[in-house]
Amino acid sequence: MKNTPPETGAFFARDRSWHPPVLTPGYKTSVLRSPQKALISLEGTTTELTGPVFGHNMLGPNDNDLIVNYARPGEMAIGQRILVHGRVLDERGRGVPGVLVEFWQANAGGRYRHKKETYLAAIDPNFGGVGRTITDDEGGYWFKTIQPGAYPWPNGVNDWRPAHIHFSVFGHGFAQRLITQMYFEGDPMIARCPIVRTIPDPQAIEQLIAPLDWNATVPMDMRAYKFDIVLRGRRSTLFENRKEGN
Amino acid sequence: MVQTLAYLKETPSQTAGPYVHIGCTPNFSGISSIFETDLGSGPLANEQARGERITIRGFVYDGLGSPLKDALVEIWQADADGLYNSPAETRGQADPNFLGWGRQPGDMQTGEFVFHTIKPGRTPFRPNDARMMAPHILFWVVARGINIGLQTRMYFSDEEAANAEDPVLARIEHRHRVRTLIGQREGETVRFDIHLQGENETVFFDM
């Protein structure tokens, strides 16, 4: 970690029109789980300006290798090997170092390892489907995994999820906390997905689609996809002299 | 034309989905060989930590009053002296024996979530505004059907005077809704239920 003082400025207001609204009837579960009253909006307090950080020493050697981190010794998960990499940035375009990134996904057949999962596709005995890492000094991160499969889900009669990887990201303040999903370039199922379509702006949807990164592809080993994640930016503390209500 | 500001847009949120436990509490979901423990699953305070021990219990209810059994709840709070265990805390060093952050899934059968923590101290409103907030804990709820994490706060029923001068609670126009943010003390237990919809809908924040 660089020896620079931590930033403590206020976060930029979240652009709620860029995010999905809470009520999206096309995604049926949202109907009973969406607040109906307006959010109370105000600039964050010391509680939201601060947030937990996690040390690199919490990571195990295979935490960012889903191909082997659940596999029996000498074995590997089945599926197309891929490298997912990118940077965690803030809205000012600066890397966000030292933040925990967690990811989880279905196996190559589109099956999750979960008690409540009922899809008939096979479980892969060598694939758990979870990993994590912490960003480096420039905000960079990477992990190895297998390309997840698409799968059907009970919403409409015939709804399918495009291949995707879930991401949970911390920042330096709790106001930056974010959970999202990464999709894969060229997948014709993205546009059909009711969960993707909770996002009203097509440009915002594009921000979730990772391009194939040919330069980062490892010859004779694995293809690469690049997925940058942008967290809320914060103002410079130089201008922090306004009192609420003044 | 003018120069471009070149700000990036925040990555849009997507629901945590029904399998958020695989990613955030894998041991709880039955994947026990990858991480030793589920991050944030233990008590937030070790035995040396200063402060009054409390246990927070609650449910997340949907619009028909059914408890969610697939929600994930995170909390973030100050230590007993009102300091956050965060690099962005500039007022002093927080209690090293208190993490300040916790994460719990609702029970798969009942939906109840439980946090073992300490009662936080009061904290200033903002770095440049010394008005004090009442003791409170930030709550963040994600689940299938929730498109973007819902943020709220729990205050304490035994802090009436502090609550009355809290600058965040003061922003709530419909005063009868303030009670949705008050955890009810019953000895060392604090009950705090979150209602996503309906007559008792919890106040959620955009902060």
Contact of A178 with chain B, judged by CB distance below 8 Å, is answered with yes
State the nearest Cα–Cα gap between A102 and chain B, in angstroms: 7
Residue range A39-57: mean pLDDT, rounded: 95
ipTM of the modeled complex: 0.97
| Sheet with A209-210, side-by-side order of all strands | A130-134, A100-104, A164-169, A178-184, A209-210
Q: Are B206 and A14 in contact (CB under 8 A)?
A: yes
**Tokens at residue B193, please?**
């239920």
Contact of A41 with chain B, judged by CB distance below 8 Å, is answered with yes
What CA–CA distances, in Å, run from B84 to A174, A236, B50?
11, 21, 13
Residue range A112-129: mean pLDDT, rounded: 92
pTM: 0.96
- Mutation pick from B126, B129, B196 vs chain A, by most beta carbons of A within 10 Å, is B126
With a CB-CB cutoff of 8 Å, which residues 190-219 of chain A face chain B? Answer: 195-196, 198-199, 203-205, 207-208
State the nearest Cα–Cα gap between B59 and chain A, in angstroms: 13
Contact of B121 with chain A, judged by CB distance below 8 Å, is answered with no
Pairwise CA distance, residues B101 & B179, whole Å: 24
Domain annotation covers residue A142: yes
Residue numbers of A annotated as active site: 112, 151, 161, 164, 166
Domain annotation covers residue A184: yes
Is the pLDDT reported for residue B193 higher than 60? Answer: yes
Find the Cα–Cα–Cα–Cα dihedral B180, B185, B190, B195, rounded to 10°.
-20
Q: Are B145 and B82 in contact (CB under 8 A)?
A: no
What CA–CA distances, in Å, run from B45 to B87, B90, B155?
18, 21, 19
Question: Which CATH number do you get for residue A99?
Answer: 2.60.130.10
Going from the N-terminus, what domains does chain B have, and what CATH number goes with each? 41-195 (2.60.130.10)
Domain annotation covers residue A92: yes
Q: Are B149 and B13 in contact (CB under 8 A)?
A: yes
Note the pLDDT of residue A51.
97
Q: What is the pLDDT of residues B48-85, one digit of tens each?
A: 999 999 999 999 999 999 999 999 999 999 999 999 99
Structural domain harbouring A160:
54-234
B23–A36 C-beta distance less than 8 A: no
Domain annotation covers residue A24: no
Please state whether B65 falls in left (phi above 0), alpha (psi between -120 and 50) or beta.
left
In chain A the beta strands, taken as DSSP E runs, fall at 40-41, 81-90, 100-104, 130-134, 140-146, 151-153, 159-161, 164-169, 178-184, 209-210, 223-226, 229-231
State the nearest Cα–Cα gap between A78 and chain B, in angstroms: 17
Please name the amino acid found at residue A218.
V
A14–B206 C-beta distance less than 8 A: yes
Domain annotation covers residue A35: no
- Angle value at C-alpha A9, between A6 and A10, nearest 5 degrees: 140
Tell me phi and psi for residue B174, to 5 degrees.
-85, 95
From the list B15, B34, B206, which residue is nearest A39 (CB)? B206
A34–B30 C-beta distance less than 8 A: no
Domain annotation covers residue A11: no
Contact of B200 with chain A, judged by CB distance below 8 Å, is answered with no
Strand, helix or coil for residue B24:
helix
DSSP at B148: S
Q: Are A159 and A153 in contact (CB under 8 A)?
A: yes
CA B98: distance to chain centroid?
15
Q: Are A102 and A167 in contact (CB under 8 A)?
A: yes
Is the pLDDT reported for residue B156 higher than 80? Answer: yes
CA-wise closest residue to B117 among B43, B181, B58, B185: B43
Contact of A46 with chain B, judged by CB distance below 8 Å, is answered with yes
DSSP at B49: -
Q: Which single residue is written with the structure tokens 């907030």?
A: B133
Is the pLDDT reported for residue A2 higher than 70? Answer: no
CA-nearest residue to A202 within chain B is B12
Pairwise CA distance, residues A172 & A169, whole Å: 10
Domain annotation covers residue A90: yes
Is the pLDDT reported for residue B96 higher than 80? Answer: yes
Note the pLDDT of residue A1.
46
Number of domains chain A is built from: 1
Domain annotation covers residue A15: no
A166 contacts on B by Cβ (under 8 Å): 14, 16-17, 19-20, 23
Is the pLDDT reported for residue A246 higher than 60? Answer: no
Pairwise CA distance, residues A209 & A213, whole Å: 12
State the nearest Cα–Cα gap between A223 and chain B, in angstroms: 23
Q: Which single residue is written with the structure tokens 């041991």?
A: B27
From the list A19, A34, A112, which residue is nearest B13 (CB)? A19
From the list B6, B9, B31, which residue is nearest A15 (CB)? B9
- Within chain A, residue ranges assigned H as helices are 46-49, 202-206
- Looking at chain A, the whole-number percentage of residues with pLDDT higher than 90 is 89
